[in-house]
Amino acid sequence: DKYVYDFAEGNKDLKDLLGGKGANLAEMTNLGLPVPPGFTITTGACQAYLATGREPDGLAGQIEAHLEALERAMGRRLGDPQDPLLVSVRSGARFSMPGMMETVLNVGLNDRSVVGLSDQAGQNDRFAWDSYRRLIQMFGKTVCEVPGEEFEHALDEAKRAKGTHDDLDLDADDLRGLVETYKKIFAKHTGREFPQEPREQLDLAIRAVFESWNAERAILYRRQERIPADLGTAVNVVTMVFGNLGPDSGTGVAFTRDPGSGAQGIYGDYLANAQGEDVVAGIRNTVPLQELERLDKTSYDQLLDIMARLEGHYQDLCDIEFTIERGKLWMLQTRVGKRTAAAAFVIAGQLVDEGLIDLDEALHRVNGAQLAQLMFPRFQLDHEFEAVARGIGASPGAASGAVVFTSARAVELAAEGKSVILVRRETNPDDLNGMIAAQGILTSRGGKTSHAAVVARGMGKTCVSGADEIEVNVPAKRFNVGGRTVSEGDVVSIDGTTGKVYLGEVPVTPSEVVQYFEGSLDPERTDDALVRAVHRIMTHADARRRLAVRTNADTGADAARARRFGAEGIGLCRTEHMFLGDRRELVERLILAATETERTDALAALLPLQRQDFVEIFREMAGLPVTVRLIDPPLHEFLPPLEQLAVNVAVAQERGEDVAKEEALLAAVRRMHEENPMLGLRGVRLGLVIPGLFAMQVRAIAEAAVAVTRDGGTACPEIMVPLVGAVQELETVRAEAEKIIAEVVGDSGVEVLIGTMIEVPRAALTAGQIAEAAQFFSFGTNDLTQMGWGFSRDDVEGAFFWRYLELGIFGISPFESIDRDGVGRLIRIAAEEGRAARPGLKLGVCGEHGGDPDSVHFFHEVGLDYVSCSPFRVPVARLEAGRSAI
Ligand code: ADP
Ligand code: MG
Ligand code: MG
């Protein structure tokens, strides 16, 4: 097997084999850019090492051969006492795992070659000893697990002895002394002397990089980022170049565009007389990259030139790491850079303008999650507000409220109409009520898959987790941060996108992107680059997509908003809210009806109210299809809770009041009590058990459609029967409905479709039969997931999903993103067998998944006709539908 590749042998497409860093170093080498020579040991070698615990056969020989070639090319030998070749040993996996794995610089230095290095650098003792102390420090820490603080303390001590804070003030003698101290630290912790043999240093460093793949923090990071555990890392061995040779040397990082906003310009930091890790370690203050123009114009111009070339070549924003050694520029790393959601859209638009990519590619480079981020309201920050802490942006949004420390208190204050922020060290399932009541959740512990983070995302609630500067004291009802105390009732603001925490109430404002979707910001007129880019890419997505996008809406107002957001109809109009409020009383009468007359009277009273609801919706959706679901939830949801009612009745009886009516109600509630209401009398079952209920709804829909049409409008109602599991259920409802429709519609020209939800697994598996009676299917993916997995949707998220996520049983809640293998299979079967029985059968989806990016791609693949989602997700679904079609 070939385990080692010279930089000249690789290219950017070999990331699986050479890791991101290695593949891009090879690419730059082949572009003729100034990359220090070197070679890459493959991820395959790492996998073999991790599997067997030793280097695979042949690896040592191949390294030897490449090292010799490198030595010949450089005219120096590794660690040679007179003129040493030094190398860095750098990790680099397929996916960037920032700071997770290690790099060792200056490999090849020892007690003798340090002198040769100084000679070669013009008797620069300071430089040579500085490089040597760095090697011992990095090697000790990474390869031999010597606690890093010990080296840092020693360095601080040396600076203190010298009366300085700046390591540049340490001279050659100080650094030589520091090397002695470092060696002692090394020996104390490892029980051996610092290895003097250059090749041994190299081999141990390579092995350490292999092993760093399985360091605890790397494992955690991979789990969070869903990076497969078996990829392994590549190892890059790179000839050292020196940014610490004096004031005419230095090192820096740069972006080809602003990764925050996407704006063009020069973005980077530079640090003179320093070696690599100093920039990120923040030991000394960097200067803006523009300063380099003054310090070294030639290198600066060359750098800008190279950045432009890299952008042209990668056709994207690149970030780079470089070093200048005595006026000579070296490129040490590049990759397509990470960016914010706003920058992603802006840059994609710019690259189209520059002719580097086409609109399909631009669409490919942005995604629905980014668009969703751009739609959250945001804080209007000015200088007045400064973050006091920063955690993980676990669930986006901008929330302000009074601080509370217990779930109970959150519920209490929320009931008074206050907005609250629940602050906990970490939440647990007992906090659920408080989380629901709170505007936002702030924890001092836990990452992206902590209980708080998972549950908050599921609820669409703002959450900052793991803000560890905050010391939470629940019994004392306060937290401390940066010397300040925040007590219960004090107001804080949290930003679930950036993870920042502010004291006081930061005002919020709708984002520009929402203003654009709302129609209050004209994309042709604005000079807002983001809005223009979003408009352009959305327009292209609409042109490309095959899936239609509808919305879930049950009021005229929601329907109107969704239309502005681009909805092409209603995929789910729930009718149950139409039974609440002052209509509850009518529903009670219906449920309690003892005689036929009482029941028909109650239904007759409900009919005109329902009809008016539908009239409004049909008007708003003029000409677009509206799928109305007949009543679905168990009827007892419309009645008072059993316990409360029982207490009321008992109290009233005690007082000797007349409670005949209440007693009847109580008896009904008792009669209808179910252990598992979600598996009980609901959906089509209600329609079959309570005579006249569905008939009333069907009549209201048909009459509303006729009324709107008579007024010159167009109504396209689609009646949807919920919870069907057998074709006979649907046939029974349909027969009755068709009679009513025929009678109401007459010759008005109105057409009413009758279809069903597919949300019971049995319906999916008998879809061929059901399609005989259904003019359309709409997948109710919430219930299909609930019944497919046997997970009670209302209980499981807070109870144990966090644990399932931690264990990797699933990567994301199946209620959030469709489970392709299981629930998805049911959908596939139903789609295929349904269409086989009835060609052209209209297929849609109306669960929460309709607005989830990954699920939208799945629905496209399965060949559905439309997805339906909440009004706010409509733009996201449009974008992803477009992306799935390219
Ligand atoms: P990371 O993946 O954490 O960025 P790198 O392998 O890129 O780690 O190394 C960190 C820094 O070390 C680089 O940015 C660079 O400044 C410095 N470095 C690495 N290799 C060399 C080298 N051969 N010569 C000079 N500096 C180097
Ligand atoms: Mg790097
Ligand atoms: Mg359902």
How far is residue 56 from each of residues 205, 228, 832, measured CA to CA in Å? 16, 22, 49
Distance CA 799, CA 430 (A): 9
Residue listed under structure tokens 């996998």:
47
Tens-place pLDDT, residues 337-386: 888 889 999 999 999 999 999 999 999 999 999 999 899 888 988 777 88
Among 105, 109, 127, 238, name the best residue to mutate to test ligand 1's pocket (greatest count of ligand atoms within 8 A of Cβ): 105
What residue ranges line ligand 1, CB within 6 angstroms? 36, 88, 90, 99, 103, 105, 238-241, 251, 276-277, 321, 323, 332-333
Q: Which residues pair with 333 in a beta bridge?
A: 321
DSSP, collapsed to helix, strand or coil, labels residue 292 as helix
Structure token digits, residue 882: 């477009």
Alpha helices by DSSP H, listed for 565-621, are: 584-592, 596-620
pLDDT value at residue 449: 66
Tell me how far the alpha carbon of residue 758 lies from the centroid of ligand 3, in angstroms. Answer: 9
Q: Which residues pair with 336 in a beta bridge?
A: 318
Name the closest ligand to CA 236.
Answer: 1
Tell me how far the alpha carbon of residue 53 lies from the centroid of ligand 2, in angstroms. Answer: 27
Tell me how far the alpha carbon of residue 241 lies from the centroid of ligand 1, in angstroms. Answer: 10
pLDDT value at residue 388: 93
Lowest mean pLDDT across 5-9, 258-262, 269-273, 701-705: 258-262
Burial of 542 (0-12, 13-18, 19+ CB in 10 A): middle
Q: Which CATH class is domain 378-509?
A: alpha beta
Ligand 1 atom with the shortest distance to the CA of 236? 6
Q: pTM higher than 0.90, yes or no?
A: no
Ligand 1 atom with the shortest distance to the CA of 92? 2
Higher per-residue confidence, 415 vs 301 = 301
Distance CA 336, CA 311 (A): 9
Tens-place pLDDT, residues 440-454: 999 998 877 678 887
Ligand 1 atom with the shortest distance to the CA of 91? 6
Q: Nearest C-alpha to atom 8 of ligand 1 is from which residue?
A: 103
Phi, psi of 472 (to 5 degrees): -90, 130
pLDDT value at residue 458: 67
Tell me how far the alpha carbon of residue 220 lies from the centroid of ligand 1, in angstroms. Answer: 23
Given a cut of 60, is residue 282 above it in pLDDT? no
What's the CATH number for 4-239?
Answer: 3.30.1490.20
Name the closest ligand to CA 251.
Answer: 1
Distance CA 606, CA 600 (A): 10
Extended beta strands in 277-355, E state: 287-288, 318-325, 328-336
pLDDT value at residue 279: 67
Ligand 1 atom with the shortest distance to the CA of 36? 23
- Do residues 868 and 845 make contact, with C-beta atoms less than 8 angstroms apart? yes
Q: What percent of the chain has pLDDT over 90?
A: 74
Name the closest ligand to CA 629.
Answer: 3
Ligand 1 atom with the shortest distance to the CA of 276? 16
Question: Degrees (nearest 5) of the Cα angle 126, 127, 131?
Answer: 115
Around ion ligand 2, residues with a beta carbon closer than 5 Å are 321, 333
Distance CA 214, CA 149 (A): 22
Among 275, 321, 330, name the best residue to mutate to test ligand 1's pocket (greatest count of ligand atoms within 8 A of Cβ): 321
Tell me how far the alpha carbon of residue 333 lies from the centroid of ligand 2, in angstroms. Answer: 6
Higher per-residue confidence, 322 vs 225 = 322
How far is residue 270 from each of residues 135, 266, 329, 338, 530, measured CA to CA in Å? 22, 12, 13, 20, 29
Tens-place pLDDT, residues 649-667: 899 888 888 888 888 888 8
Ligand 1 atom with the shortest distance to the CA of 322? 16
- Do residues 283 and 167 make contact, with C-beta atoms less than 8 angstroms apart? yes
Query: Across the chain, what does the average pLDDT equal?
Result: 92
Lowest mean pLDDT across 762-766, 769-773, 803-807: 803-807
Grade residue 224 by pLDDT with cuts at 50, 70 and 90: low
Which residue, among 709, 733, 739, 707, has the nearest Cα to 719 in the 3D structure? 733
What is the pLDDT averaged over residues 663-676?
Answer: 87
Name the closest ligand to CA 633.
Answer: 3
Q: Which CATH class is domain 545-577+604-634+687-884?
A: alpha beta
Ligand 1 atom with the shortest distance to the CA of 238? 23
DSSP 241-274: --S-SSTT-EEEEEEEE-TTT--EEEEEEEEES-
**Residues whose CB falls within 8 Å of the CB of residue 168, separated by 6 or more in sequence, listed in order:** 273, 284
Tell me how far the alpha carbon of residue 321 lies from the centroid of ligand 2, in angstroms. Answer: 6
How far is residue 780 from each of residues 5, 684, 777, 848, measured CA to CA in Å? 52, 14, 9, 9
Tens-place pLDDT, residues 687-744: 999 999 999 999 999 999 999 999 999 999 999 999 999 999 999 999 999 999 999 9
Residue listed under structure tokens 């009931």:
415
pLDDT value at residue 794: 79
Tell me how far the alpha carbon of residue 626 lies from the centroid of ligand 3, in angstroms. Answer: 17
Ligand 1 atom with the shortest distance to the CA of 251? 16
Given a cut of 70, is residue 100 above it in pLDDT? no
Beta strand 753-758 pairing with 776-779: parallel
pLDDT value at residue 760: 97
Q: Nearest C-alpha to atom 17 of ligand 1 is from which residue?
A: 276
Tell me how far the alpha carbon of residue 146 lies from the centroid of ligand 1, in angstroms. Answer: 21
Q: Nearest C-alpha to atom 24 of ligand 1 is from which residue?
A: 240
Among 277, 332, 334, name the best residue to mutate to test ligand 1's pocket (greatest count of ligand atoms within 8 A of Cβ): 332
Q: Nearest C-alpha to atom 23 of ligand 1 is from which residue?
A: 240
Residue 216 identity: E
Q: Nearest C-alpha to atom 19 of ligand 1 is from which residue?
A: 88
Q: What is the DSSP letter of 631?
A: P
- Do residues 752 and 715 make contact, with C-beta atoms less than 8 angstroms apart? no
Tell me how far the alpha carbon of residue 783 lies from the centroid of ligand 3, in angstroms. Answer: 5
3-class secondary structure per residue, 819-864: CCCCHHHHHHHHHHHHHHHCCCCEEEECCHHHHCHHHHHHHHHHCC
Ligand 1 atom with the shortest distance to the CA of 101? 3
Given a cut of 80, is residue 226 above it in pLDDT? no
Tell me how far the alpha carbon of residue 300 lies from the centroid of ligand 1, in angstroms. Answer: 20
Which residue, among 752, 762, 686, 768, has the nearest Cα to 720 in the 3D structure? 752
Q: Nearest C-alpha to atom 16 of ligand 1 is from which residue?
A: 276
Grade residue 643 by pLDDT with cuts at 50, 70 and 90: confident
Given a cut of 70, is residue 109 above it in pLDDT? yes
pLDDT value at residue 281: 60
- Which CATH architecture fits 250-336? 2-Layer Sandwich (3.30)
Name the closest ligand to CA 793.
Answer: 3
Q: Nearest C-alpha to atom 12 of ligand 1 is from which residue?
A: 276
Tell me how far the alpha carbon of residue 596 lies from the centroid of ligand 3, in angstroms. Answer: 30
Name the closest ligand to CA 759.
Answer: 3
Structure token digits, residue 773: 């009676």
Which residue, among 567, 511, 286, has the nearest Cα to 380 in the 3D structure? 511
Among 90, 130, 324, name the best residue to mutate to test ligand 1's pocket (greatest count of ligand atoms within 8 A of Cβ): 90
Q: Nearest C-alpha to atom 20 of ligand 1 is from which residue?
A: 88
Neighbours of 37 (CB within 10 A): 18
Distance CA 462, CA 506 (A): 15
Neighbours of 180 (CB within 10 A): 10
Around ion ligand 3, residues with a beta carbon closer than 5 Å are 759, 780, 783
Ligand 1 atom with the shortest distance to the CA of 253? 14
Write out the catalytic residue numbers. 451, 846
How many Cα atoms occupy the beta-carbon half-sphere of 344 within 13 Å?
Answer: 18
Tell me how far the alpha carbon of residue 336 lies from the centroid of ligand 2, in angstroms. Answer: 13
Distance CA 346, CA 368 (A): 15
pLDDT value at residue 432: 82
Residue 738 identity: E
pLDDT value at residue 316: 95
Tell me how far the alpha carbon of residue 37 lies from the centroid of ligand 1, in angstroms. Answer: 14
Domain ranges of the chain: 4-239, 250-336, 378-509, 545-577+604-634+687-884
What is the pLDDT averaged over residues 226-243?
Answer: 92
How far is residue 650 from each of residues 585, 616, 671, 731, 825, measured CA to CA in Å? 21, 43, 18, 45, 52
DSSP, collapsed to helix, strand or coil, labels residue 455 as helix
Given a cut of 80, is residue 20 above it in pLDDT? yes
Grade residue 99 by pLDDT with cuts at 50, 70 and 90: low
Higher per-residue confidence, 586 vs 278 = 586
